Amino acid sequence: DAGVIQSPRHEVTEMGQEVTLRCKPISGHNSLFWYRQTMMRGLELLIYFNNNVPIDDSGMPEDRFSAKMPNASFSTLKIQPSEPRDSAVYFCASSLLETGELFFGEGSRLTVL
C-alpha cells in the first residue's frame, strides 16, 4: 500500500517567494497533520484536520502560513511570503480518527535563501 506521499521532497527558494507543499494521505484515513522539524525546535505540530475540517491551527507560526484540505485525498501547506527562518523539514502525517496511530510521509525539505 502507498504510504503518505509528500511533494516536493526538496525545495530551494528565495526569500519572498510563495511555497506550496503538498500531501496525499493514506486512502481511508480521516485525520491529517502537518509538522515542522528543525534542529532548534524539534518536531512541532502546525495544524491538523479531522474529516477535512481544521481542528487546531494554534501551531501555525503566523499569517504567512496557511493550510487547506479541499478533499479527503489532498492537503496543501502554503507559505507566502517565505523567509529564511522557515527553512525546515515539513512532515505530513495521516491517521484513522479512531486509532490515533500516525503514519508520516518522508517530508519536504525547504530551504529559503
Partner 1 sequence: DAKTTQPPSMDCAEGRAANLPCNHSTISGNEYVYWYRQIHSQGPQYIIHGLKNNETNEMASLIITEDRKSSTLILPHATLRDTAVYYCIVRVAGGSQGNLIFGKGTKLSVKP
For 40, residues 6+ apart whose C-beta sits below 8 A from its C-beta are: none
Contact set with partner 1 (CB under 8 A): 4, 31, 33, 35, 42-45, 48, 50, 55-56, 58-59, 91, 93, 96-107
Residue 101: CB minimum distance to partner 1, A:
5
Residue 63: CB minimum distance to partner 1, A:
20
Residue 108: CB minimum distance to partner 1, A:
11
- Give the residue with the Cβ less far from partner 1, 68 or 109: 109
Bridge partners, 33 (sequence order): 48, 93
Cell numbers found for residue 84 = 529564511
Q: Which of 102, 13, 91, 97 is nearest to 46 (CA)?
A: 91
